[in-house]
Structure 1
Amino acid sequence: MNRQALVGRKYHQPGLIVDAAESAAYASCVGDESPEGVAPPFFAVKLVAGLWRRIYQAPELGTADQLVLHAEQRMLFHRPMRIGEELTGHAVVRDVVGFGFGDAAIIRCALSDQDGRDIVVMESTLAVQGASGLAPDRRRYTQPTKKDLVVRLEKHFGEELPQRYADAADDHNPLHLDDDLARQAGHPRRIVHGMCTLATGISALANKLRTRPEGRLSYLRARFTRPVLPGDAVEFTAHQGGASGTYLVGAKLDGRAVLKSTWFRMTGND
């Protein structure tokens, strides 16, 4: 098994339609309140789901789906995705590194319009069980200054949510749908998708913080530290950051963080 053989591998998927019904299903699942005519910002992960699968199911990675766990996510939104437009997805494996007790594939994805302009750019870190003795991840990120608390709310993740999110996001990893396979991966039972936890919390905070209809998410950075189980309730908080429109996010379950080093920026609110 040579996981680093994946580094530099590129994937493309044209003909991705921002479908109205699929967008509405995703928005309903995570509680997004984007304006009419545009898709929820996190709908981007549904559009690139097929690209992610082609990478983590590659034979060079040598793993089972339920042994892949979303560890980190960054997203840059140049503009909203418009209902009905056709996009092309691009993905490249930037690196495969040591990550805790295993490895991680670092994937850069972009969704571009028909003129080749990027609309959404994201970097995803997918942790894989089984260490290969690779050099550890050396990336470091700057954390904004934490100021006053501006929003506190709680979101409940129902027992039926993993299946709903799997359908809405095209992510049917058995880690989220099969209790036995989730236990084989070291969890007490199936877990909520990390992106579902993130999208639900950030959407709820953004809904509260939006002061104008054109206010929207423009950047996000998150690290997943603890899984959420179906039936759990998570407390989300947003503190004002040092720059206008920047917010630091807290997400706790029974007093323990499920997200760390997480913050987002909104534009169009002023």
Structure 2
Amino acid sequence: MPVDPSRVGTTVGPWTVGWTERDSLLYALAVGAGQQDPLAELAFTTENSEGVTQQVVPSFAVVLGFGKGLPDVGEYDPTRAVHAEQEMVLTGPLPAAGQARVTTTVTDIWDKGRDAIVWTETTLVEAGSDRLLARCRTGAFLGGAGGFGGERGSSPSWELPDRAPDVEVTVSTRPEQALLYRLTGDRNPLHSDPAFAARGGFPRPILHGLCTYGYTARILVNELAGGDAGRLASMRGRFTRPVLPGDDLVIRAWRAEGDSEVFFRTTNSAGEPVLDRGVVGLRPGADGGSR
């Protein structure tokens, strides 16, 4: 059944979300921090290591804005709803603990014929200071919800440089990765319930797309920004294939001219893209450089 295009402009919120140091640490572990070497990412995984200031993996901003889920856009089959694209823009590093007012607005509903894509924009404003922390744009693919005669929509141009990547890192997810990641807030049974996953056409529960997104963000911060989470200004990408818990992820990145913009692609071990058309924006480092 088609979704309702008149729901564009619908707003949910504001509501208040709060998080603690423990929440930030749990998120880091849920996206693989410390998995290969427990001593390598202490800024993400501990709050009391000598000489180390706690940082937050930047993609935690997207999770903080997901508390109310997708606004009401009409009827659709939840077993055929998957994350399609994700973009985030951050004004600076996220605090390890805090509160924010969150508002989500339906900005676009695209008709892809049989299917639909619903776009929402979520803002996080720090409680008390009214400082904008992050703006997140999310595309949800709703299978079977198209055919209402709306606009198909378009995407920005994207092309990888014709050369070897500047960064190539392979990481392994764990068989229980989705069970750990769901503790950060996304309890969609698609990632834990075999019966629900089977109704969606999957052989077993799949990994959250935002878990893959978080793995990728963490690796790019480490490899491109020297582990300084505050230098990641923006990140966008398109989810193209499901990842199963336990799969390997290969993250490749290419610096563009000027080094403030980086293109990336995350693939599975077979070389198939799972997070594609990726672009990261970087702030200059303390020395004025972007590397």
TM-score by length of 2: 0.83
CA distance in 2, matches of 1:76, 1:215: 12
CA distance in 1, matches of 2:227, 2:212: 25
Residues 13 and 51 of structure 1 are in contact (CA less than 8 Å); yes or no, is this contact kept in structure 2?
A: no
- For 1:268, the equivalent position in structure 2 comes to 284
Which among 57, 63, 78 is matched to residue 76 of structure 2?
63
- For 1:48, the equivalent position in structure 2 comes to 65
Q: Could you say which structure has the higher strand fraction?
A: 1
Shift of residue 181, structure 1, vs aligned partner: 1.3
Shift of residue 145, structure 1, vs aligned partner: 6.2
**Partner amino acid for 1:156?**
S
Residues 144 and 242 of structure 1 are in contact (CA less than 8 Å); yes or no, is this contact kept in structure 2?
A: no
Query: How large is the RMSD of aligned CA atoms in angstroms?
Result: 2.2
- Structure 1 residues 213, 39: CA separation in 2 closer, same or farther (over 3 Å shift)? closer
**Could you list the runs of 5+ residues in structure 1 that have no partner in the other structure?**
none
Q: What are the Cα deviations for residues 56-115 of structure 1, in whole angstroms up to 9, with x where unaligned?
A: xx3x43134332100011110111221332211011001211136411210010101234
- For 1:94, the equivalent position in structure 2 comes to 107
- Structure 1 residues 229, 112: CA separation in 2 closer, same or farther (over 3 Å shift)? same
- Structure 1 residues 84, 260: CA separation in 2 closer, same or farther (over 3 Å shift)? closer
Within the alignment, does 1:130 sit opposite 2:144 as a pair?
yes
Which deviates more, 208-217 or 105-114? 208-217
Shift of residue 203, structure 1, vs aligned partner: 0.9
Q: Calculate percent identity across the aligned residue pairs.
A: 25
Which deviates more, 257-266 or 210-219? 210-219
Larger radius of gyration: 2
Residues 125 and 134 of structure 2 are in contact (CA less than 8 Å); yes or no, is this contact kept in structure 1?
A: yes
Residue-pair matches, total:
265
Which deviates more, 238-247 or 155-164? 238-247
Shift of residue 214, structure 1, vs aligned partner: 6.6
**Could you list the runs of 5+ residues in structure 2 that have no partner in the other structure?**
34-40, 45-52
Q: What are the Cα deviations for residues 37-72 of structure 1, in whole angstroms up to 9, with x where unaligned?
A: 44321111221122324x2xx3x4313433210001
Secondary structure class of the residue paired with 2:166: strand
CA distance in 1, matches of 2:139, 2:213: 14
Shift of residue 240, structure 1, vs aligned partner: 1.2
- For 2:258, the equivalent position in structure 1 comes to 243
- For 1:82, the equivalent position in structure 2 comes to 95
- For 1:199, the equivalent position in structure 2 comes to 214
Residues 239 and 275 of structure 2 are in contact (CA less than 8 Å); yes or no, is this contact kept in structure 1?
A: yes
Q: What are the Cα deviations for residues 112-166 of structure 1, in whole angstroms up to 9, with x where unaligned?
A: 1234332100110011121331324323314376265211111112110001001
Shift of residue 196, structure 1, vs aligned partner: 0.4
